[in-house]
Amino acid sequence: MILWNLFCSFALIGCFAFGGGYAIVSLIQNEVVSKQGWLTISEFINIIAVSESTPGPIAVNTATYVGYKIAGIIGAATATFALLLPPFIIVIALAIILRRHRKNPRLQQAFWGMRPVIIALILNAAFILGAQALLSPWAIAAAVLALVLLIFVKINPILLIFIYGAAGVIIGLM
């Protein structure tokens, strides 16, 4: 029964999870903390902290963690699957529609208008994250150095992530 409830709650979240990571997190909070009472607010904040600092989309991580907390590994799998199912179906439907109407001039005009908006959306994400992550002059310098390495040295992004992570561990030891 708890698994079915988990499935329904996270499938519902999946249907309305527009707007990326943090928007989804507030939906999850409403459902899991306020409505179902599965977690206290302080437990929920701990989960967000863990989800933020681990790889993967924050919403998916939160679902996995909440599911695990409530019903173990099967709960984790159920919540994650439920969260991803509605968007999976919607994205496939969009892919089919777009493949059929790719040459439609109206659609191409719409994409012409949307492309710069997407770039703005990405920059906006960088602003939001930068406001939290770049609090010291050192952090800002580190971010600028990373950007230089990416654009001019063409460093592999995965390598960059591990170099910065290792630097964090070394500084932490000092």
Partner 1 sequence: MSGNQPRCPLIKLFWVFAKIGAVTFGGGMIMLPLIQKCVVEDKKWLDEDEYIDIVTVTNSAPGAFAVNAAVYIGYKLRGLPGALVAALGAIIPSFVIILLIAFLLAGGKNLKALNDFFYGVRPAVVALIVYAAFKLRKSGLQTPANWIFLALALILLLLGLNPILVIIAGALSGIVLQSLHKVSKKEETP
Near partner 1 in 5-34, by CB under 8 A: 14-21, 24
CB 18 within 8 A of CB 41: no
**Residue 55 in contact with partner 1, rule: CB under 8 A:** yes
Span from 3-11, 33-41, 49-57 in contact with partner 1 (CB under 8 A): 49-57
Residue 121 structure tokens: 């959306």
Span from 1-9, 31-39, 76-84 in contact with partner 1 (CB under 8 A): 76-84
- Which of positions 126-145 make contact with partner 1 (CB under 8 A)? 126-127, 129-130, 133-134, 139-140, 142-145
**Residue 45 in contact with partner 1, rule: CB under 8 A:** no
Residue whose structure tokens are 């191409």: 108
**Residue 53 in contact with partner 1, rule: CB under 8 A:** yes
- The H or E element containing residue 112 is helix 105-133
CB 36 to partner 1: min, Å: 18
Cβ atoms within 10 A of the Cβ of 125, count? 13
**Residue 98 in contact with partner 1, rule: CB under 8 A:** yes
**Residue 2 in contact with partner 1, rule: CB under 8 A:** no
Q: Is the dihedral of CA 163, 168, 173, 174 positive or negative?
A: positive
Phi then psi for residue 103, to 5 deg, are -85, -5
